[in-house]
Amino acid sequence: MSKFIAKPATSLSGNLKIPGDKSISHRSIMLGSLASGVTKVKGFLEGEDALSTLKAFQAMGVKIEREGDNVTIHGVGINGLKKPLKALDLGNSGTSIRLMSGILAAQDFDCELHGDESLSKRPMGRVINPLTKMGAVIESNDNGKPPLRIKGSQKLKGIKYDLPVASAQVKSCVLLAGLYADGETCVTEPAPTRDHTERMLKGLGYDVRVNENQMCLTGGGELTATEIQVPSDISSSAFFMVAAAIAPQADVTLTGVNVNPTRTGVINILQLMGANLTLSNEREIGGELLADIRIQSSELKGIKIPEQLVPLAIDEFPAVFIAASCAQGETTLTGAKELRVKESDRIQVMADGLNILGIENEVLEDGIKIQGGVFQNPAQMIESHHDHRISMSFAIASLRCDYPIEINGVDNVMTSFPNFVALANSAGMNITEI
């Protein structure tokens, strides 16, 4: 088990290139594998989560070549996957297991999906339920937890599904199953969620009909190979946005970041808090929006986070909690119950760490209240519970701390941001992994 020792630092500067978007990297492998022809991907995230997806499709007979962040996928067509020789190990990746369940529910072979200790605790009923309505047969452990055993040769039918909770993973799972279903599959979401699946399906030539909060497609079509450019991940960028905003001296530019409007909640929230944050060089590449983001030292103030921004920033809240800890006044988050079923219970785990750093907070059923203050000398090590976003969030707190912060269980940072420590130190931080 590894840990970070984040020593005090006060300045942050430089032009930084954040690794590729994790969500888009996953989808490029899945859809590129199901396409006819050769799909070339540039900027692929070399983190363990995305590599779990890559290895799973290799195990199902897809030839995939990788040189650094350049990936070449020799697509087998929508019906070309082969039965893997053994259960597919998806590591820590919730995106992999949920999206792939939609694809595998329609194959003519049985398969089993499992993962690490953390993934084995995450709820899968949210994808099992709609897939079962479509005709899939899926067995799981008690309470719908992995491993998932998916029975092949089931004839799926299109459904109209209203998402009970805004979730891009569930929406994508149902749409991917819909590729194989008889008739039309429609998903209606209660609030906007990231739309990378819809964008990439369109980019590969599949007709996806979007009408406000409803997405529909008809099964039986084909995907055509293309070239995909993966922009920098806004979720990973969020750590450096917050780091620069809270640092006493900072001027950082993050280049080529994905600013898809379904992902920019963290930018909106930080600007509402008074962050000195601007976007420039906005452009579109491969159907995705990119921009350079400049962040300088800021005087942050506490806010009530608008609930409509919650689904647009769901993965970035651990970093936002650090910003709230350094802000003047109270920050309140509600409507974020989804945070309790991520890699960890991110509300409770962040609250525990903030308590160790002397930051007053109140845990709510669906959120948290945080009183801005001053980080105190931590009397004990902070436990990340093997959650990569918890680990990185407390590491950036060192920019406003007079004492070293020790964070335990940081091994899973490799899942999403393998060069986090090197990049942070190059910009002026002082983090050691031991």
Q: Which residues carry out catalysis? A: 315
What residues contact residue 142 under an 8 Å CB cut-off, 6+ apart? none
Rounded distance between C-alpha atoms, residue 78 and residue 205, angstroms = 13
Is the separation of the CB atoms in 127 and 167 below 8 Å?
no
Q: Encode burial over 160-190: b for 16+ CB neighbours within 10 A, e otherwise.
A: ebebeebbbbbbbbbbbbbbbbeeebbbebe
In terms of Cα–Cα distance, which of 323, 213, 212 is closest to 266?
323
Cross-strand pairs, 245? none
Alpha helices in 289-387 (DSSP H): 317-325, 346-356
Q: How far apart are CA 163 and CA 145, in angstroms?
A: 19
Q: What is the DSSP letter of 301?
A: B
Angle at 186 between CA 183 and CA 189, to 5 degrees: 170
Strands (E), 343-404: 361-364, 367-371, 382-383
Length of the chain: 434
- 10 Å CB burial of residue 132 (0-12, 13-18, 19+) is middle
- Listed in sequence order, the residues at least 6 apart from 311 whose beta carbon sits closer than 8 Å to its beta carbon are 166, 191, 192, 193, 265, 338
Angle at which helices 22-34 and 48-59 pack, to 10 degrees? Answer: 10
